[in-house]
Structure 1
């Protein structure tokens, strides 16, 4: 039985990181809106908004402005990756081999796997709190329950994840509207909600960075959910459907978190949201809590694809199918569960530090990837070479990309501001974190210049190249 026949005849996705042929392409740009809109309406998004008022202590107006700016700007970076899936038909992290080389890409892919596990663990903490409060069971048992549902979604694969997100777009979207109406119109927020907090540049930029990273963190797996799309989907439809779904689906839950955090700053996210929507709190927590399982299925699915990419790089003949993906999902779930159980005590602080450090290592990758795709190669890649152990035309290591990546991390360090580390420039700026902006501004033009110089050398006539001259001398 061919993979194409198996894919059509089974509910479980057969393919993993292999190229999706044109005959198996399906879907439209509308599916990109629903998967990003529905998957973002969950408790972790609400908790991210609550950071602005609970951790950074911003007033409501400044917090809402900051999360809006961060989502709008970060969404541009994230959505630019969406067009790569239909064009190339392979997962996002496999594409990284074209920029960094087959072995050079491993550093980035390993970091991304850690990111997936971290997001999975963060979702497990909040999902566990929600389920524990509703079913009156222990949080560890609730964490395990949420995780097992997520594993099932990741094992079944692409179609089920799209279907779940489509359903969440309607169900969770309606509950989100109801939460605003109930919290503000029926219950009425406590008076101190609108007067608490004080504006600080550090808190404002910290919130902007956090919201921007929320979007940028999706960049390493945007193409995983567009690679089955027809090649003629188009850059603009893919961009706008992804952008609007991700930004709208993230912004409004974050605003809800801002309000709940300002109203009940001493409560955790689940309790604060429950208080804010008192009367329908059980419904809101149930829907947003269960939505975590759908989003975690996405994290686990993409984490499995990235892990398989690492394995296939080291062992080129290994190309697992559904069973292999399922086994990898189970291993990643166990790692995430351990992180969730150990790190749930100081969740918001741990999550904020995790996101800030993640931003530092993702920015140079996304800069290299986007410049390479749009400015250098214009979407034209040798797909077969991506699966060759020596990298084919892309080689094992692209020194220019690796140097830009390492430099991109280093150049951000002086501008970084977290509770664990604050760079000297960030200190001089009063704790304001602009590290991700510096990373983009430095690495985008640097990679473009270095690669164009390299392409210029490769474009010289053979007789003008040092290797050709040396060969001529030897034969002479």
Structure 2
């Protein structure tokens, strides 16, 4: 008998457990709107503006590097999309299959900090936008934006999907109006179109930031596809996710590129307000509200990952909706502190946060994708993922753990940030290619080390497991 499908507004009862086939719903095109709508926000605009403000590129070079970075990085991100419908569990819980039940904890905890970092970054921008529109103190506006995100997290998966679908239309329209108003109505300064100042360091830094924007979503993807039917299809899941995230990211980033090129010495939000004078109140109001949905995604994923850690430590714990609500409130309080403290020097902190994030995410995504597509071909023992000793995956997979740390170490000489510049990056003019090196080294390394260990045992492992390929 098929379980009744609850209304979009009903509170989600499940957390990290496997989603039964008879509770699956949705279509691949739903993935387009969840990623398109959630990316049209102020943080995406700020990220694009880094190219012309922090990295000093001319508009043409900034636009090109933003597009290339998103197009390349989204391939890595969207490859994770098929894992949700096929396995029916959250993204970071799947990490137990690669790193072991206890070995996965390090990666999951680091990703939780990533979710909280994005939450704090978003809530600062949303609070500043709300303060500009309403006149409320920025600190109070930050709290209001955060609380709305907490409520959406408590309701869960269906509400997030529904809201991002609405945002695809509303925020997409606001973005279009902003472009038209800036260029066609108010106009931009003549120096906006200058062609000087190009550097390879700036170009590659922008490309890396744009690629990271996409790669940083890799730990999110299955959380928003795990309720989808198993026959969704890998290609359909990939292209729905890829197209939505690329378009939803590139367009607001290009708006940021334009704002930064027009007013490079101004705060990006102030510049956007100046250039959209006449419609800025409406634009900022929509973007501020939109941030609450995107931040609900951050908090929702952070909550699932925190529950994953807790359930690993306390295997008899059976977390439900109440647990998700409690954890989401706790994470909100934790993220609120840096948000309130760093609001004044947000841009510098954000750029450094992105650089650090890139270094620790690359080896995880390399291990995860090679394991799923090349080694196990999507065949996993779902029950073993919930066993404290890891079942056939064990407590620790030292190959994966070793590759993860090797992936971090191999990137260090190639890093180029305001905090640290590696000797290779210095030798090539400050160009940061660390993430490319990390992927190029760890993908074949993990495959070569792990393949012999699987051998005939991988064949035996298919007996009694859920085939998800």
1:383 lines up with 2:364 in the alignment: no
CA separation in 1, counterparts of 2:376 and 2:389?
A: 20
* Cα drift, residue 272 of structure 1: 1.1
1:452-467 equivalence runs, <5 A:
452-456=451-455, 458=457
Instruction: Tell me the distance in 2 between the aligned counterparts of 1:355 and 1:451.
Output: 30
1:201 aligns with 2:213: no
CA contact (8 A) 1:150 1:296 kept: yes
Change in 2 beyond 3 A, CA 1:340/1:178: same
What does residue 125 of structure 2 align with?
126
Q: 1:358-369 counterparts in 2 under 5 A?
A: 358-369=357-368
Structure 1 residue runs without a partner (length 5+): 462-476
Aligned to 1:330: 329
What is the TM-score of this pair, normalised by structure 1?
Answer: 0.94
Tell me, in whole angstroms, the C-alpha distance in 1 between the residues paired with 2:387 and 2:283: 49
Structure 1 Cα separation of the partners of residues 174 and 458 of structure 2: 58
Structure 1 residue aligned with 2:112: 113
Quickly say closer, same or farther: Cα 1:176–1:423, change in 2 above 3 A: same
Q: Count residues with an aligned counterpart.
A: 460
Task: Work out the CA distance in 1 between the residues paired with 2:190 and 2:184.
Answer: 14
Deviation at 1:158, TM superposition (A): 0.2
Tell me the SS of whatever aligns to 1:123. helix
Q: Deviations over 1:311-352 (max 9, x none)?
A: 001110112111110111011111111011111222111111
Classify 1:10/1:177 alpha carbon distance in 2 versus 1 (closer, same or farther; 3 Å): closer
Quote the Cα distance in structure 1 between the aligned partners of 2:397 and 2:172: 44
Distance 1:339 1:430 in 2: 33
Q: What are the equivalent positions in structure 2 for 1:167-186 lying under 5 Å apart?
A: 167-186=166-185
Deviations 1:352-373 (A, max 9, x none): 1101110100000000000000
Distance 2:273 2:82 in 1: 39
Equivalent-residue separation in structure 1 for 2:457 and 2:33 (angstroms) = 44
Alpha-carbon offset, residue 27 of structure 1: 0.2
Kept in 2, the 8 Å contact 1:6–1:14? The answer is: no
1:46 aligns with 2:39: no
Where does residue 288 of structure 1 map in the other structure?
287
Alignment partner, residue 392 of structure 2: 393
The DSSP-based 3-state class of the residue aligned with 2:93 is helix
User: C-alpha displacement at 1:261, in angstroms?
Assistant: 1.1
Structure 2 residue aligned with 1:473? none
Residues 1:430 and 2:409 aligned together: no
Determine the C-alpha separation between the residues in 1 that align with 2:344 and 2:272.
Answer: 18
CA contact (8 A) 2:48 2:254 kept: yes
Mapped to 2, the partners of 1:277 and 1:10 lie a distance apart of: 35
SS of equivalent residue, structure 1 residue 390: coil
Which residue in the other structure is 1:355 paired with? 354
Q: Is contact 2:2–2:22 with CA below 8 Å preserved after alignment?
A: no
After TM superposition, list the pairs within 5 Å mapping 1:58-97 onto structure 2: 58-97=57-96
Which runs of structure 1 show a deviation greater than 2 angstroms over 4 or more consecutive aligned residues?
Answer: 2-10, 456-461
For structure 1, which segment, 312-321 or 302-311, has the greater mean C-alpha deviation from structure 2 after superposition?
312-321
Is residue 2:240 matched to residue 1:241? yes
1:3–1:261: structure 2 CA closer, same or farther, 3 Å change rule? farther
Q: Distance in 2 between matches of 1:5 and 1:143?
A: 38
Partner residue, 1:19: 18
Distance apart, 1:196 and its partner CA: 6.9
**Structure 1 pair 3–355 and aligned structure 2 pair: CA distance change class (3 A):** farther
Q: How far does the alpha carbon of each residue in 1:397-447 deviate from its partner, in whole angstroms, 9 at most, with x for none?
A: 011100000000000001011101111111111111000000000000000
CA–CA distance in structure 1, aligned partners of residues 71 and 111 of structure 2: 23
What is the CA–CA distance in structure 1 between the aligned matches of 2:375 and 2:243, rounded to whole Å? 27
Give the distance between the partners of 1:260 and 1:41, measured in 2 at CA.
15
1:46 and 1:254 in contact (8 A); partners too: yes
Q: What CA RMSD, in Å, does the superposition of the two structures yield over aligned residues?
A: 1.7
Paired residue for 2:220? 221
| Structure 1 residue 37: Cα displacement | 0.2
Q: In 2, are the aligned partners of 1:7 and 1:14 still within 8 Å (CA)?
A: no
| 1:269, distance to aligned residue in structure 2 (A) | 2.2
Report the counterpart of residue 269 of structure 2 in structure 1.
270
SS of 1:414 mapped into structure 2: helix
SS in 2 for 1:318: coil
